[in-house]
Amino acid sequence: MLKTPTIGESLRNEGISRREFIKFCATAASLMALPATMIPKIAEALSNTPRQSVIWLSFQECTGCTEALTRAHAPSLENLIFNTISLDYHHTLQAASGTAAEEAREQAMHKHPGEYLLVVDGSIPIGNPGYSTIAGISNQDMFLEVAKQAKAVIAVGTCAAFGGLPKAAPNPTGAVAVQDLLRDKPLVNVPGCPPIPVVISSIVAHYITFGGLPDLDNLKRPLPFFGQNIHDRCYRRPFYERGQFAETFDDEGAKQGWCLYKLGCKGPVTYNACALFKWNDAVSFPIEAGHGCLGCSEPNFWDAGSFYDALSIPLPGAAKAAAYAGIAGTAVGIAAGALNMYKKSTAIQQREVVTVDDLERK
């Protein structure tokens, strides 16, 4: 039987130097807020471990997550991480198609039962199995089958983590998140639309090094990356404190780089690492580019009202509620008023007139 090459071996075959490799380990350690003393441990674990088998399933998604991961600037951590795993099945990236592709998946599952990592992007429709199928297999069936033997599951992107856009009201396909179907398996959610690529690679590195997943928050997001909110890390925060806000996208405030709260920024309620790692090789991130945060790493961000409404504005429907209440209040008020007036007038009519003479007579 052919021995699976270790990560170290395959990196050397790829012509990646020891120096670059250690640099990757150092970055991974710092990203996960691990002490520098862990770097040799990561390096050792990565170079001596056989490449981790990964099965990547894509369901109701837009391929943005995969795009984000593969379009990262080269040479990058992301490219390195592709060398540390053996991506045994990925709809979009694999060359094989049709039956051959499905065979590859079966093979990977049988070769490493209970050992492979399952990465999922996209939500799973349970409204009708026919809404999304691969090789005639419904998403739900395929997911449950592959998840059964997986060692851990990584839900990549907001669709897999929380349902995402496919779940937006009225949720026509009955889309659910991975965590709604998964029981008794370690799961980590890496939400984001798309998620930050380096987070995915760091989690894989963490998994290979320590054999487990990093600490998670209550939404099962890795704390090292989702522990802080955008607002707390935002360089526009001093403007927020001073009450200096851009009112439109092209006013003086916007040009001065003032806070985008009034233009709908959801940074205060969004936990993600954008403000820290940024995008496009750490060039910028939405708020820096002049657009408020959409809150894409939070559940239901797609149904949380307009992206351009400030956080303090209630969700749509207030005007309707007010109108109904106005009509009901007026109607009941008039009725109560009529009753009062009736009582008052009958009281006046039935009033017995008592004169001083009457009193003296008694």
Partner 1 sequence: MDNYADFLLWVRGPAFHIALAIFLFGILLRFFEIFSLGRRTEYAEVRGNAFLGGMRTLFTRFLPEKTTLKRILFLVIAGYLFHLGFFITFLFFDPHIVLFKSALGFSWPGLPAPIINIVTLISLLVMIALLIYRLNHPVLRLLSGFQDYLAWTITFLPLLTGYLAFHHMIHPYPLILALHILSVELLMILFPFTKLMHTFTFIIARWTTGARAAQKGVSL
For partner 1, which is the closer residue by CB, 184 or 241? 241
Whether the Cβ atoms of residue 60 and residue 123 lie closer than 8 Å to each other: yes
**Would you give the DSSP letter of residue 267?**
G
Task: For residue 154, give Cα distances in angstroms to 176, 189, 201, 290, 354.
Answer: 15, 6, 11, 32, 89
- Provide, rounded to whole angstroms, the least separation between the CB of residue 311 and ligand SF4: 8
For ligand SF4, which is the closer residue by CB, 143 or 258? 258
- Provide, rounded to whole angstroms, the least separation between the CB of residue 59 and partner 1: 22
- The option from partner 1, ligand SF4, none interacting with 241 (CB < 5 to 8 A, set by class) reads partner 1
* H runs (alpha helix) in the chain: 7-13, 18-31, 39-48, 64-70, 77-84, 98-111, 139-148, 157-162, 178-181, 197-210, 223-226, 230-233, 237-242, 252-256, 274-277, 286-289, 318-349, 356-361
Task: Please return the burial class of 257, using the count of CB atoms within 10 Å of its CB with bins 0-12, 13-18 and 19+.
Answer: middle
| Residue numbers at the binding site for ligand SF4 (CB under 6 A) | 192, 230-231, 234, 236-237, 240, 259-261, 265, 267-268, 270, 272, 274, 285-287, 292-297
- Provide, rounded to whole angstroms, the least separation between the CB of residue 76 and ligand SF4: 18
- The option from ligand SF4, partner 1, none interacting with 296 (CB < 5 to 8 A, set by class) reads ligand SF4
Task: Let me know how many helices (H) and strands (E) the chain has, helices first.
Answer: 18, 9
- Provide, rounded to whole angstroms, the least separation between the CB of residue 56 and ligand SF4: 21
- The option from ligand SF4, partner 1, none interacting with 54 (CB < 5 to 8 A, set by class) reads none
Task: For residue 35, give Cα distances in angstroms to 21, 29, 31, 38, 277.
Answer: 18, 7, 10, 6, 19
For partner 1, which is the closer residue by CB, 184 or 360? 184
Write the DSSP assignment of 303-336 as a string of letters.
GSS-TTS-TTSPPTTHHHHHHHHHHHHHHHHHHH
- Provide, rounded to whole angstroms, the least separation between the CB of residue 269 and ligand SF4: 10
- The option from partner 1, ligand SF4, none interacting with 234 (CB < 5 to 8 A, set by class) reads ligand SF4
Q: How far is CA 326 from the centre of its chain?
A: 39
- Provide, rounded to whole angstroms, the least separation between the CB of residue 65 and partner 1: 20
Task: Please return the burial class of 83, using the count of CB atoms within 10 Å of its CB with bins 0-12, 13-18 and 19+.
Answer: middle
Instruction: Compute the distance between CA of residue 28 and CA of residue 210 in angstroms, rounded to an integer.
Output: 13
| Residue numbers at the binding site for partner 1 (CB under 8 A) | 218-219, 229, 231-232, 240-243, 245, 261-262, 268-269, 271, 298-300, 303-305, 309-315, 317-318, 320-322, 324-326, 328-330, 332-334, 336-338, 340-341, 344
For partner 1, which is the closer residue by CB, 89 or 240? 240
- The option from partner 1, ligand SF4, none interacting with 322 (CB < 5 to 8 A, set by class) reads partner 1
For partner 1, which is the closer residue by CB, 283 or 322? 322
For ligand SF4, which is the closer residue by CB, 134 or 276? 276
- The option from ligand SF4, partner 1, none interacting with 242 (CB < 5 to 8 A, set by class) reads partner 1
